Chains A and B, each alone.
Chain A
Amino acid sequence: MTLPARLEPLALARDATRLALAVTGACAGLVLVGLFGQFSNRWLVVGLLDIGHALMLAIALRAGMVAARGQSWAGAVPRALLCGALAGVLVVLLVMAARVANLRWMLVSLTPVTLNRVGYMLPEQQAMLLLAAGGAAAALLGTALVLLPPKARRLLMGALLGVVLAGLLRELIRSLLSGLGEIDGWAFSYDGLLPAGAMAAAGIGALAAARPGARHFAALPSRARLALQLLCLALLLLLPAVTNDFVAQVMMLVCLYTLMGLGLNVELGLAGLVDLGFVAFFAVGAYTVALLTAETAGVAHLGFFAALPFSVLFAALAGFLFGLPVLRVRGDYLAIATLGLGEVIRVLVLSDMLKPLLGGAQGIVDIPKPALFGVILGSPTRLFYLTAAFAALAGYCAWRLQHSGIGRRWLAVREDEDVAQALGINLVQVKLMAYTIGAAFAGLAGGLFAAMAGSVFPQSFQLLVSVNVLAVLVVGGIGSLPGVVVGAAALIGAPEVLRDLGEHRYLIYGLVIIAIVRFKPEGLSPAAIRQREVA
């Protein structure tokens, strides 16, 4: 900016005030919707910083980044300092006003305790000083993040992320490290991350961000790189065995959704068939295993591995039979038709007609755990390996199909049905094949689900399952196989990991989904062909 020298301080004050008002507004919003109240009694770093104030500081940090936009150090630093400090003062002033005005009859989150917590329970002047100092420091940090040279910026970013992740995911990290024993004493306490642990996390984060081996890794021959990647995968697969059942349970769910996602990917990602009734085939698979293996309600008392092929077969058959009439409609109409299908199956299961066989709302219980060569796969860890093995098998099949002539025909139908038909492609046959194969994958997942849960109930097969699988694809990148895994990990794994954020985890979950479709609409791990084109 080329302002006359005497106008410079005015512009500075104007920019800083504007930003400070925005920060104050955002912080007030945090308090009003109850987020601050919820999180201010949970430590990010024990004794230093709670999550509620950390959120406020994050807002100030963002303001600092905005302040640095288009500025040099000389212009940015005073703006950031002024903005942060001003925002701190304003927040405390708002608190004082809220105490006087007593708006609690309308804004239920404004409890006296919450208001006190904003100022760390300190007298007002001290609170003002403290928040102003904190705000200024955070804004300065934000400015530094923008203006520092790339290498330093990455280190700083890594350290910050390290602390935040270590603080948020403390339960997970503690259970991962529980084998190491001593770490509990100095890094984590029952309340959360201890300052010493935070230092360690910052160090590890910075180290990871510096990526000391990145250049060597890139220089490795592709074969060695693949070996390293496989090693990482193997370590990941070992995780449930060395940690606890919770981790195994979460990873098992991720694998299950991966399996379903692979099926829906054949239908939607490759052949372009919108399917909102996907859960129907999942249910067919689950009830098949339940009926064939359950001890009391069952009809055949087969072993799990003898029953599983029937799950796949019956689900595929259901897909074929429902596909015959349904696949003659297109686009939005197909979505509605399949939506109906999903409900039909659920209502059928609940109906009086099938109650003697399927148990109605009481479902089918006492499904035995799978047994392989005399070993009962009862623990979550063993069930995880079972699911992972089938997911890998399904992934291989999906990969082969996608890169075959069959997969290309699906893609052609997805791109332009009329043209595909004019090239000699039999639309009904090709679509039915996609629908049947997708259904078979879902049936496999259903069979596994029945065995791991030990019981099946109609309530487990709601529309929400179809929607979740669809969301897995969207988040991961429609039509991309790695995307299915990434999407399942992000959508199914993350909420479980964030469990100790309580009911607010779904808020964060929702925000993450919105952020993904806004900023990365092609998905977290888009199909290779698009990546190639973007590069």
Chain B
Amino acid sequence: MTELLRAAGVSKRFGGLLAVDRVSLAMAPGAIHAVIGPNGAGKTTLFNCLTSFTPPSAGEIWLQGARIDGLRPDLVAARGIARTYQNIRLFPDLTALENIMVGLGVRRPETLLGALLATPAHRATVAAVEARARALLLDLGLGGRGDRLARHLSYGDQRRLEIARALSVQPVLLLLDEPAAGMNPVESHAMMELIARIRDEHGVGILLIEHQMRVVMGISEQIHVLDHGVCIAAGTPAQIRADPAVIAAYLGARAAKHGMDALEKRA
């Protein structure tokens, strides 16, 4: 079975700052991985490198056995990587339905002449795209909200619409940047279940950035911990939870020592 994603020694340098420093990771198809780390650790920059939004300064990225670093962002998307954004970036003045139809339309291009003359083939494409878009909306719990402008949807709906739009390009790898940010425990639990269901039903691999440990620990198979651009630990949730380096990065070295002492005492 070929790997879904392999990043090898990916680095990104902004002037004097090494935002991502030789990060490597590998994902199997349909896996759910998480990237965690303090603010400014380089998580979103890593996403930007994977999607070519800011191409990496060094390292290689392979998707399904093909090298994709250095490709234009739209070509990376065509290979099958879709993403959401930390601060939601929908097309605010388009309806929810249109937001999704944009993504679907990319995979089913129309000819200029077909659009002008409204040929039967063109009509069939349009009908198929719209039906698929409505099905996606329904699937993500946005049924009946298709004709609302994206900007007028509630926060939770906007988060889910962004995921629906990412799914509309039929990706093999979905990058979710803080999908549960700003949600209460009930909502983030629902988001967790949604993510797991999307993986099962669409068969996509999912790489997510998240700060809510409940979500991260609940659904990730592998966790990568970034700190100052360096991957300081990687492993299963249980391994990460026990890793002293991770606790040090999150709580500071002294607090970590304190915490470890307390743990040992209890043991």
Contact = CB atoms under 8 A, between A and B. Distances in A.
A81 B74 CA distance: 70
Nearest to B98: A408
Contacts, number: 97
A418 B74 contact: no
Nearest to B148: A533
Nearest to A397: B116
Nearest to B110: A405
B149 A529 contact: yes
Interface stretch (B86-94, B179-187, B200-208): B86-94
B218 to A, nearest CB: 27
Nearest to B115: A404
Given A404-B126, A415-B91, A529-B95, A423 B115 contact: no
Interface residues of A: mostly helix, strand, loop or mixed?
helix
A444 to B, nearest CB: 14
Contacts of A419: 85, 89-91
Nearest to B85: A419
B129 A411 contact: no
Contacts of B110: 404-406
Interface string A514-531: 000000000000000110
B33 interface: no
Interface stretch (B75-83, B138-146, B247-255): B75-83
B169 A423 contact: yes
B126 to A, nearest CB: 7
Interface range, A side: 20 to 34
Contacts of B235: none
B94 A412 contact: yes
A421 B89 contact: no
A400 interface: yes
Contacts of A397: 116
A261 B88 CA distance: 33
Given A422-B82, A533-B149, A400 B115 contact: yes
Interface stretch (B7-15, B21-29, B101-109, B189-197): B101-109
Interface residues of B, number: 43
A408 B51 contact: no
Contacts of B82: 422-423
A312 to B, nearest CB: 14
A379 to B, nearest CB: 32
B77 A406 contact: no
A369 interface: no
Interface in A394-438: 397, 400-401, 404-406, 408-409, 411-412, 415-416, 418-427, 433
B241 interface: no
B257 interface: no
Contact of B116 (A400, A412, A530, A532): A400
Contacts of B117: 400
B37 interface: no
B165 A423 contact: yes
Interface in B130-172: 147, 149, 152, 165, 168-169
Given A406-B110, A423-B77, A424-B107, 9 more contacts: A404-B110, A405-B126, A415-B92, A419-B90, A420-B91, A422-B53, A422-B74, A529-B93, A533-B152
Interface of A: 397, 400-401, 404-406, 408-409, 411-412, 415-416, 418-427, 433, 529-530, 532-533
21 contacts: A397-B116, A404-B115, A405-B110, A406-B110, A406-B112, A408-B94, A411-B91, A411-B93, A415-B92, A419-B85, A422-B74, A422-B77, A422-B83, A424-B74, A424-B75, A424-B107, A425-B74, A425-B106, A426-B72, A529-B94, A530-B93
Interface of B: 51, 53, 72-75, 77-78, 82-83, 85, 89-95, 98, 101-103, 105-110, 112, 115-118, 122, 125-126, 129, 147, 149, 152, 165, 168-169
